[in-house]
């Protein structure tokens, strides 16, 4: 029996990368998984198929997380399918490609803030009330970034957005944590993880070499973020509230 048997887990941005790894990891532990996607239906369907092939239950749910009506409809569909929501993993994100501030358009700034901050707010706004009806509350895990704990290498909009996620997570935890029926909220701050989102950086040998100078001496893998999410959603971490956990191969301690 998996650790999350009969629990319902929602993962946003789950059609690829870190979100995909997280969704499949929860599925392997027995959870009912709602695989959210915005445009990549084929990717989401593949994640659902992988979970079902491993004996789990999953549905793909299309939603634009920056649209309140879309998030409300997604929430309703998940509750209709599985009865409740126990864990929300906000994994969807956008990046600004290190655009200097003098070249950063208002539209690009707004897009980063919408996806990385407003999307998390909306998912929590509509799904936390569902969790509060549960006998044992629920868990929110926000995927932030190492850029939420330090300067993000010139990535102004992304750094600002991920700092906002860190603050939002702490405030959410403070507001809803209480013994027995509370909502635990924590964030994960990945370092550079080998996904499509950072494929451009992976192609830059000089940048790749700089990241190999961290204590771990390598890139992180999506499964390592998934493992952190499993821990933070489990009873083993029941005394952990409101933290932002670096999973970065030690990069933060050297920079």
Give the CATH number, domain containing residue 60: 3.40.50.720
C-beta separation of 24 from 226 below 8 A: yes
User: What's the pLDDT at 42?
Assistant: 98
**Does 254 have pLDDT greater than 80?**
no
Q: Would you say residue 1 lies in a domain?
A: no
Supply the mean pLDDT for the chain. 92
The answer to whether residue 158 is catalytic is yes
Given pLDDT bands bounded at 50, 70 and 90, which one contains residue 219? confident
Instruction: Say if 19 falls within a structural domain.
Output: yes
Do the Cβ atoms of 137 and 92 come closer than 8 Å? Answer: no
Residue 205 above 80 pLDDT? no
Mean pLDDT of all residues in 12-37: 98
In a domain, 213, yes or no: yes
pLDDT at residue 98, as a whole number: 81
Average pLDDT over residues 96-117: 93
Q: Which of 37, 126, 158, 176 is catalytic?
A: 158
pLDDT higher than threshold 90 for residue 125: yes
Is residue 32 a part of any domain in this protein? Answer: yes
> DSSP characters for 58-104?
EEEEE--TT-HHHHHHHHHHHHHHHS---EEEE------TT--TTT-
**What residues make up the domain containing 208?**
8-247
Which range has the worst mean pLDDT, 135-139, 158-162, 217-221?
Answer: 217-221
pTM comes to 0.94
| Residue 254 maps to a domain | no
Q: What is the mean pLDDT of residues 129-149?
A: 95
pLDDT higher than threshold 80 for residue 217: no
Q: Which residues pair with 233 in a beta bridge?
A: none
Q: Indicate the pLDDT class of residue 253, thresholds 50, 70 and 90.
A: confident
pLDDT of res. 147:
85
Residue with tokens 């909009």: 157
Tell me, yes or no, whether 3 lies in a domain: no
Domain membership flag for residue 209: yes
pLDDT digits (tens, 9 = 90+) for 57-90: 999 999 999 999 999 999 999 999 999 999 999 9
pLDDT given at position 204: 57
Q: In this model, does residue 247 exceed pLDDT 80?
A: yes
| Nearest Cα to Cα of residue 94 among 121, 106, 112 | 112
What does each C-alpha distance from 240 to 47, 134, 150, 232, 243 come to in angstroms? 29, 20, 22, 8, 7
Check pLDDT > 60 for residue 201.
no
pLDDT over 90 (residue 196): no
For the chain, the domain total comes to 1
Determine, yes or no, domain membership for 157: yes
């Amino acid at each position: 029996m998996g650790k999350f048997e009969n629990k319902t887990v929602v993962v946003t941005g789950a059609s690829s990368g870190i979100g995909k790894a997280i969704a499949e990891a929860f599925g392997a532990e027995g959870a009912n998984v709602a695989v959210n996607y915005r445009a990549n239906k084929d990717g989401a369907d593949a994640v659902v198929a992988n979970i079902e092939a491993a004996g789990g239950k999953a549905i793909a749910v299309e939603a634009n997380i920056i649209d309140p009506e879309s998030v409300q409809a997604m929430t309703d569909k998940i509750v209709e399918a599985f009865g409740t929501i126990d864990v929300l993993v906000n994994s969807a994100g956008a990046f600004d490609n290190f655009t200097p501030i003098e070249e950063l358009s208002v539209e690009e700034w707004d897009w980063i803030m919408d996806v990385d901050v407003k999307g998390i707010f909306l998912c929590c706004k509509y799904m936390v009330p569902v969790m509060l009806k549960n006998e044992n509350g629920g868990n929110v895990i926000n995927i932030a970034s190492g850029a939420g704990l330090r300067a993000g290498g010139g990535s102004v909009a992304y750094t600002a957005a991920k700092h906002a996620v860190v603050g939002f997570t702490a405030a959410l935890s403070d507001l809803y944590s209480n013994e027995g029926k509370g909502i635990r909220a924590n964030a994960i701050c990945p370092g550079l993880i080998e996904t499509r989102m950072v494929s451009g950086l992976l192609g830059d040998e000089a940048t790749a070499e700089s990241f190999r100078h961290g204590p771990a001496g390598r890139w992180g893998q999506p499964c390592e973020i998934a493992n952190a999410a499993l821990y933070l959603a489990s009873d083993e971490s029941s005394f952990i509230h409101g933290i932002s956990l670096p999973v970065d191969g030690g990069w933060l301690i050297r920079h």
